[in-house]
Structure 1
Amino acid sequence: MFDHVKFGVSDYAASKTFFLKALESLGVAVAAEGVPTYGVELINPKSKTSLCLCQTEEKPAHLHLAFTAENRQQVDAFYRAALEAGGKDNGAPGLRQHYHANYYAAFVIGPDGHNVEVVCHEPEA
């Protein structure tokens, strides 16, 4: 549905580092940086969807950002990397069967208080 999502962050360097490390297992990488008022564009080369971060002086409203994983190992890797990058636990990897039988997800709180989720909808391989 989405082509890209852009939002402001209070600490550009910390947020860029956090999202790059946390989403590395999904194949996310820097696509562009330094375009005026655009900040950094992080892209998933398979889906071609991107996340754009820019510095703001405004206090960002908290978001819930959910990223799709191809398998449960990517969810686990996201969770470990996000915590190592300074994220705060908001739900360890596991099944959330109240959504559906194969909803395997992990949640962390990022630098600006955003709830960042990675979810796999596939059964365990």
Structure 2
Amino acid sequence: MIDHVGLDVRDYQKSLAFYRKALAPLDYELIVEIQGWAGFGRGGVPTFWIRGGRQTSQAVHIALRAKSREQVGAFHAAALAAGGRDNGEPGPRPHEHDYGAFVEDPDGHNIEAVCGEPA
């Protein structure tokens, strides 16, 4: 089981603003900021971290669980409004019952929201 993930970002303030807006529909909030790090999560537990001022290497893919298909759509819309780039509109995915959406963050990381509940 994964405890948390972290991403290096070039522009900390730009990425902080992006993730605050993009993750809000998934009930993620900013939990803590410590010396150029920001931890987002649910229920007071930071599980998704960004670290600023670093040159990013190859873009990564991270999938975050959504509670519903509606949350997937809300995430996609919020991420695009926050400056993300569409990388896959909300819709069914190849795995049984998976419904997801993909956006690229300001550094090109592929961030997905996915719901595994049947329609």
CA RMSD, aligned part only? 1.5
Contact 2:39 2:46 in 1 (8 A): no
Q: Using the TM superposition, give the Cα deviation of residue 17 of structure 1 relative to its aligned residue in structure 2, in angstroms.
A: 1.1
User: Which residue of structure 1 lines up, in the alignment, with residue 86 of structure 2?
Assistant: 89
User: 1:59-74 maps to which residues of 2 (within 5 A)?
Assistant: 59-74=56-71
Partner of 2:49: 52
Work out which of the two has the higher radius of gyration on C-alpha atoms and give 1 or 2.
Answer: 1
Q: Where do residues 109-124 of structure 1 align in structure 2 (5 Å cutoff)?
A: 109-124=104-119
The total of aligned residue pairs comes to 119
Rounded Cα–Cα distance in structure 1 between residues aligned with 2:41 and 2:88: 25
2:89 partner SS = coil
Report which of the two has the higher share of strand: 2
Structure 2 equivalent of residue 107 of structure 1: 102
TM-superposed CA distance for 1:26, in Å, is: 1.1
Match of residue 41 from structure 1: 39
SS at match of 1:3: coil
CA distance in 1, matches of 2:22, 2:65: 13
Consecutive unaligned residues of structure 1, counting only runs of 5 or more, are none
Give, in whole Å, the separation in 2 of the partners of 1:13 and 1:65: 20
Output the CA distance in 2 between the equivalents of 1:114 and 1:57: 14
TM-score by length of 2: 0.92
C-alpha deviation, 1:8, in angstroms = 1.1
Matched with 2:21 is 21
Shift of residue 2 of structure 1? 1.5
Give me the identity figure in percent: 40
Q: Give the distance between the partners of 1:119 and 1:89, measured in 2 at CA.
A: 15
Cα shift at 1:49: 5.3
Query: Which amino acid is the alignment partner of residue 59 of structure 2?
Result: H
Taking the aligned partners of 2:86 and 2:108, their CA distance within structure 1 comes to 11
* SS of corresponding position for 2:18: helix
Cα distance in 1 between the residues matched to 2:117 and 2:6: 28
